[in-house]
Amino acid sequence: MSHAESRSQTPAATRSTIHLPAPTAWPIVLAFGITLLLAGLITSASVSILGAILAVTACIGWFRDVLPQEQEQTIEVKVEAAVVHTARREVARLAVAPDLPRALLPLETYPVSAGIKGGLAGSVAMAVLACLYGALKEGSIWYPINLLAATAYTQSAHLSMASLKAFHLDTFLLAAGIHLFTSLLVGLLYGAMLPMIPHRPILLGGVVAPILWTGLLHSILELLNPLLNQLISWPWFVASQFAFGIVAGLVVVRQEQVPTRQLVPFLVRAGFEAPGMMKEHPEKDQSQ
C-alpha cells in the first residue's frame, strides 16, 4: 500500500480527533551524528566519519518523513469542560505598597553614598592590616606601601628589598592616591550592588564582594603589578579584603535607608525637564 493510499484511508478529523505529525527518531539521530562529527575534530578522524554517516542517514530519513507528503497520525481528543472552583470571593492582594499599582521590591534600600562611605572606612581597615603585615613579616610598615606604588613604576622589578623597606615621600603619596582611588571605586561598586541584598549589607561586603574582588585581582595582578604579584602574601591580602568588606558593611548598616524610586520614568530620574511627567512649576509673577 502506497503512502498516498494510507493517507486516503485516514479518517477525517472531527471534533473528537486531530491530526499530528507522526513521531520520528531521526532528529535525535541527527543531533548525535553532528555531536560525533564535531567531537572527532579533537579525538579521532574515525569518530568524525561515523558522525557524518549518522548525520547523512538521519537527514535522508527525516526528509522521507516529511517529503513529498508529511506523515501524520490521528489523535482522539476528549473534550471536557473545565470547571474552576474557588473558596475566595475576591482576589487576595499583598499589602506591600497599597498606593502603587505594581511595587518594585525592595521598597527601601541604602543609597549609593552609603557604599562610598563604607569604601572609605574599609580602606582604613585594609591599610592598617597591610601595615601590620609589613611590620610583622618584613620589619617595615613602608614595605606594602612601596609594593602598591610599584604599580606605576616601569622599573619596579629591579627595586631592592632595602628600597622597598625605606620611606619615600613620592612613593607614599602615589600609594595613598592609588589606594584612595581604588577604595572609592570599590565603594561605588558596592553601593550599586546594595539593592541586590538590601537586608544583608555585611554579608555582601564581608563575604561576597571580597571573594569577587580577590578572584579578579588574582587573575590580572601579574599585568598590573608584576612585583606585587611575586611578593604578595595572599592569606594576608584575603584577610585585608574581608576586613575591608566587614568594616564597609558596618558603616552601611548605620546609614538611613531611602525609598526606591518606584515606577519613575527615566527622564525624571535623569533630571531632564519632561512635560506631562513632572509637576508644573508655578509661574512667577513677572512684576517681581
Q: What pLDDT is attached to residue 231? A: 76
Q: Is residue 51 part of a domain?
A: yes
Q: Which of 81-85, 192-196, 280-284 has the lowest mean pLDDT?
A: 280-284
Q: What pLDDT is attached to residue 53? A: 92
Q: What pLDDT is attached to residue 182? A: 84
Q: Report how far residue 209's alpha carbon sits from residue 197's, in angstroms, rounded to the nearest whole number.
A: 12
Q: Which of 51-65, 83-97, 118-132, 232-246 has the lowest mean pLDDT?
A: 83-97
Q: What pLDDT is attached to residue 169? A: 86
pLDDT at residue 128 above 60?
yes
Regarding whether 231 and 115 lie in a shared domain, the answer is yes
Helical pair 209-224 and 169-193, crossing angle rounded to 10 deg = 140
Regarding whether 214 and 118 lie in a shared domain, the answer is yes
Give the up-direction half-sphere exposure of residue 220: CA atoms within 13 A in the CB hemisphere. 8
Q: What pLDDT is attached to residue 3? A: 45
Give residue 31's pLDDT band: very low, low, confident or very high (50, 70, 90).
very high
Mean pLDDT within 44-53: 89
Give residue 268's pLDDT band: very low, low, confident or very high (50, 70, 90).
low
134-182 pLDDT, tens digit per residue, is 888 888 888 888 888 877 665 555 567 787 788 888 888 888 888 888 8
Q: Is residue 268 part of a domain?
A: no
Q: Is residue 158 part of a domain?
A: yes
Q: Is residue 86 part of a domain?
A: no
Examine the fold and report which residue of 76, 91, 120 is the final residue of a domain before the chain moves on: 76
Which carries the bigger pLDDT value, residue 258 or residue 50? 50
Q: What is the mean pLDDT of the chain?
A: 75
Q: Report how far residue 135's alpha carbon sits from residue 138's, in angstroms, rounded to the nearest whole number.
A: 6
**Most confident option among 9-13, 42-46, 53-57:** 53-57
Report CA torsion sign: 40, 46, 48, 50.
Answer: negative
Q: What pLDDT is attached to residue 56? A: 92
Q: Report how far residue 152's alpha carbon sits from residue 129's, in angstroms, rounded to the nearest whole number.
A: 22
Regarding whether 191 and 62 lie in a shared domain, the answer is no
Contacts of 151 (CB under 8 A, 6+ apart): 178, 224, 225, 228
38-45 contacts at long range (C-beta below 8 A, 24 or more positions apart):
none
Which carries the bigger pLDDT value, residue 72 or residue 275? 72
User: Of 141, 207, 148, which Cα lies nearest the Cα of 176?
Assistant: 148
Number of domains in the chain: 2
Q: Is residue 67 part of a domain?
A: yes
CA end-to-end span of the chain: 100
The radius of gyration of the chain's CA atoms, rounded to the nearest angstrom, is 34
Q: What pLDDT is attached to residue 14? A: 47
181-219 pLDDT, tens digit per residue, is 888 888 877 777 776 666 677 776 667 777 777 777 777
Q: Report how far residue 42's alpha carbon sits from residue 118's, in angstroms, rounded to the nearest whole number.
A: 50
220-226 contacts at long range (C-beta below 8 A, 24 or more positions apart):
224/151, 225/147, 225/148, 225/150, 225/151, 225/156, 226/156, 226/157
Which carries the bigger pLDDT value, residue 15 or residue 79? 79
Q: Is residue 165 part of a domain?
A: yes
pLDDT at residue 99 above 70?
no
Q: What are phi and psi of 200, to 5 degrees?
A: -135, 60
Residue-number span of the structural domain to which 32 is assigned: 16-76
Regarding whether 68 and 28 lie in a shared domain, the answer is yes
pLDDT at residue 278 above 70?
no
Regarding whether 149 and 227 lie in a shared domain, the answer is yes
